[in-house]
Amino acid sequence: MGVKMHLGVWLLLCSVACVPVLAQTSGDGKIHIPVRVQGTKLEEPVDYFTELLNMALNASKAENEVVDIVFSDRDYSQARWIHLLQNDKRNFVIWTMTDKTREQQMRPIRIPLFKGLFGYRVLLIRKGEQARFDNVTGLTDLARLLAGQGTHWPDTDIMLHNGLRVTTSETTESLFRMLSARRFDYFPRGISEAWFELMQRNEKNLVVEKNLLLYYPTAMYYFVNKDNEALAKRIESGLETLIDNGKFDQFFYNHPRINTGLEKLQRRKILRLENPSLPDETPVDNPRYWVDLNGISKSEVKPEHAVAR
């Protein structure tokens, strides 16, 4: 009964969408659904986004369907990924931080992949330079130092809007090199990124600054081509199923991207930033989508659930 119901919903979605989810029959008698992703093969063993995506797609598949995740041969800048997605109506999924422009360019699946953690940012700095940040008590103090950000990242506009000084580069890799080369003073990274990336890269010259935490309301989403409504609905349905049965939280809290950061997080001075590009459709009032950081006072965490417009 369950399989028939899933298949029926699936056929309905395909019939009403502008472009159905593309599938192909293989020699094994299964219906294979290839889904291209922005992740590269190097990321496959531990990639948070492709693993969660695979879980979501499999949560709503019929018994005779097989989801095939197709990794990219190379990495690109965020702007390039967005351009590729806008011009590709096949099954293609990218993940990036939302803003008003991106939600006009692509079809967002408005379920925060990091439960809102992406808006909490610690600072990567060079080892031995903690003293430069010890006296920072507000944004005015932080503005005396220079941040590094991606050229096309929404975070860049948020920081500039809040009076912070920023220099940019196209890729994350180049920003790590620039920080090590003293081209700027600090590199804000999400709780889900900072410690995990230092461990993954085996960085010897960079550390996480000890006292500060930037916060601005935002979310990381999956995005698909605006014409592929069937794929969007399927991902959305799968994520909702994972939330309902507890598998989303189980995956979230046990993934090294998350637990590596959360277990190291301590009480920090929170510097609040306004996010003028946060879309009105952001589901900030739905608590099932957001994490509550117990290490931070409830008065500080609340704005993630009730963002002032």
> What is 200-212 written as a DSSP string?
HHT-SSEEE-SSE
pLDDT of residue 134: 97
Inform me whether the pLDDT recorded for 304 exceeds 80.
no
pLDDT of residue 30: 84
Residue type, 28: D
Say how far apart CA 66 and CA 62 lie, in whole Å: 8
Question: Which residues lie closer than 8 Å to 24 by C-beta, 6 or more apart?
Answer: 31, 32, 34
pLDDT of residue 266: 72
Dihedral angle over CA of 193, 196, 200, 202, nearest 10: 110
Q: Are 169 and 303 in contact (CB under 8 A)?
A: no
Inform me whether the pLDDT recorded for 56 exceeds 70.
yes
State which CATH number among 3.40.1710.10, 3.40.50.1970, 3.60.10.10, 3.40.190.10 fits the domain covering 117-217+259-304: 3.40.190.10
Inform me whether the pLDDT recorded for 243 exceeds 90.
yes
pLDDT of residue 21: 55
Secondary structure E strands in the chain: 24-25, 31-40, 65-72, 92-97, 107-109, 120-126, 146-150, 165-169, 187-190, 206-208, 212-215, 220-224, 269-272
CATH topology of domain 2-114+220-245: D-Maltodextrin-Binding Protein; domain 2 (3.40.190)
Tell me if residue 275 falls in helix, strand or coil. coil
pLDDT of residue 289: 95
Tokens of 112: 């925060």
pLDDT of residue 109: 98
pLDDT of residue 77: 83
Do the first three CATH levels of 2-114+220-245 and 117-217+259-304 match, i.e. the same topology? yes
Instruction: Provide the residue ranges of all domains of the chain, joining segments of one domain with +.
Output: 2-114+220-245, 117-217+259-304
Say how far apart CA 166 and CA 184 lie, in whole Å: 8
- What tens digit of pLDDT does each residue of 86-143 get? 998 889 999 999 999 999 999 999 999 999 988 999 999 999 999 999 999 999 999 9
pLDDT of residue 62: 80
Tell me if residue 133 falls in helix, strand or coil. coil
Which pTM value belongs to this model? Answer: 0.81
